Chain A
Amino acid sequence: MLNIILGAVSLGLIWAIMTIGVYITYRILGIADLTVEGTLAMGAAIAANSISNGTNPYLATLLALLGGLAAGLATGLLHTKLRIPALLSGILTMIALYSINLRIMGRANISLLNRKTVYTPFQNIFEKYNLSTVIYPVIAVGLITVMIIVCFLYWFFGTEIGCAIRATGNNPNMVRAQGINTNTMVIVGLVFSNGLVAISGSLYAQSQNFADIQMGQGSIVIGLASVIIGEVLFGKRNFFSRLIALVLGAITYRIIIALVLMMGMPANDLKLFTALTVAIALALPMFGEYLNTIKNSFRRRNNA
């Protein structure tokens, strides 16, 4: 049981990175960016391909990051320069990435068994203490990466450019009136978001010891589920606590999944389960309104 939870925590930490990426587009910019489905797989593809070619795994993750940044740039340019709606721009890049990822990998999947990964140095450490070399190294790397990213974003969104990006998602008219190029801000947001998602994909592939062309499928929904769980359960007071809430949300999502699987839900139903969860969570505000109108109409009837 403890191992199942810890395994969920390790996965959650890796997916927290992608969750933060989804948060940047979905909440800060107000864009549902589907690029991430392709970007996650690209992060995995780039890392797996370079590692199996003998590249240092940390360098491979850096390359994955660069790939993610480029994917975000592509979507950003489609959206702002060619004026294609954001949702469609994301879908276009996502579709294009499917072919690109196949080219990067040369085939549909790559095994990383017995390769050195970012976790290897940590595995050696935990081995000495007779601890699980599957779970703890992933938790360690995940924790360090998440901490660096949270600190970086906390700083970044406090800078002049960061403030401008936040305001752009809020009221682009006002932002232009303050002399800021909103197109540039949208592009920067998409670039950062997809960079994070690619890092997540790279770490995920290395933790699973393989990369697969299908890896990103459904990831946007997982990201959204984690964002919503984080916001609902762990609040959103200031920006720092929001970022932490996202991480906790991603971990909680993984724990929930682990638990329903343990309770006997077939793994094939996972995506259906996640989609329903997100649909219900997104509809919650509407149900609230609906309840209120019903309540009010009762009250009126009683008063009459």
Chain B
Amino acid sequence: MLEVKNLKKIFNAGTINEKVALDDVSLTLSEGDFVTLIGGNGAGKSTLLNCIAGVHMVDEGQILIDGKDVTRIPEHKRAAYLGRVFQDPMMGTAANMGIEENLALSYRRGKNRTLKWGISNKERDVYKELLSTLDLGLENRLSDKVGLLSGGQRQALTLLMATLIKPKLLLLDEHTAALDPKTAEKVLKLTDKIVEEGKLTTLMVTHNMRDAINHGNRLIMMSNGKIILDITGEEKRNLTVESLLERFGKVSGEEFANDRALLS
């Protein structure tokens, strides 16, 4: 479903601030894979997702989505294949527009925008039904501005928007990091449900080891722009925080102490 080949991304090349954010990263996701991606601050997780989404153009390497080479395709065209939720709850929605208007925008992802009415009554019924599955009471607030919603409500809405049209790949970048623990838990549950029901191929970044272990069928760890661990199948199912830390210690000695604190 996703093939990433030898990606290289360098920020501020040729200056003293030069930073190799992705260093020869290769990764293949099969259809239906739910991959959790973990790593310390600055490991390159967001950069990898942003390169896949076309926010950044890569310096080297190739990105294929469903067999199609998208490496040079601009962000807004790649969006046809991708659902995205960001860390910042403000990022995924238009605050000054209504809930239904936001949903209507994402209902047309991958289609050309025309002079047809921006939202139809038939859609409103669909949105109402979908919103009621969130159990947040949003189904009665269709025309409320999204800016009035809490962070958790906005992330739940963004998740719904990202999957309204089934994406070939769902990219979640620490989408629960800005929420309080209880709300984060809820949004994660919702994520599991949506991913499972839609059999979505998913790449989810998290800072939380436990979440990375408890969700998905495959776990990837990044450090310094490289993938250093890739655990799937039986091994992933039997993973514990201790065993993960141990394996992490084996692959990267010195940063261990530093990253251990960040990851726990």
Residues of B within 8 A of A181 (CB): 74, 76
Stretch of A45-53, A172-180, A201-209, A211-219 at the chain-chain interface:
A172-180
Chain A residue nearest to B118 (CB atoms) is A163
Q: Is the interface of A mostly helix, strand, loop or mixed?
A: helix
Query: What is the distance, in angstroms, from A156's C-beta to the closest C-beta of chain B?
Result: 8
Q: Is the interface of B mostly helix, strand, loop or mixed?
A: loop
A148 lies within 8 A of chain B by Cβ: no
CA distance A276 to B193 in the complex (A): 57
B263 lies within 8 A of chain A by Cβ: no
Residues of A within 8 A of B96 (CB): 166, 170
Decide: B105 and A178 in contact? CB cutoff 8 A.
yes
Chain A residue nearest to B88 (CB atoms) is A173
Cβ-neighbour of B118 out of A162, A170, A178, A182 (below 8 A): A162
**How extensive is the interface on chain A, given as a class?**
20 to 34
Query: What is the distance, in angstroms, from B141's C-beta to the closest C-beta of chain A?
Result: 16
Residues of B within 8 A of A180 (CB): 76, 79, 105, 113
Chain B residue nearest to A179 (CB atoms) is B79
Q: A-contacting residues of B (Cβ < 8 Å)?
A: 53, 74-77, 79-80, 82, 84, 86, 90-97, 101-102, 104-106, 108-111, 113-119, 161
Q: B-contacting residues of A (Cβ < 8 Å)?
A: 156, 158-164, 166-167, 170-171, 173-182
Q: Could you name 26 residue pairs across A and B whose Cβ atoms are closer than 8 Å?
A: A158-B117, A160-B118, A161-B114, A163-B101, A163-B104, A163-B113, A164-B105, A167-B102, A167-B105, A171-B90, A171-B91, A171-B94, A171-B95, A174-B93, A175-B94, A176-B76, A176-B79, A177-B82, A177-B84, A178-B79, A178-B109, A178-B161, A180-B79, A180-B105, A181-B74, A182-B76
Q: Knowing that A162-B118, A163-B97, A163-B119 touch, tell me 20 more A-B residue pairs with CB under 8 angstroms.
A: A160-B118, A163-B104, A163-B113, A163-B118, A164-B113, A166-B94, A167-B105, A170-B94, A170-B95, A170-B96, A174-B91, A175-B105, A176-B79, A177-B79, A178-B106, A178-B109, A179-B77, A179-B111, A180-B79, A181-B76
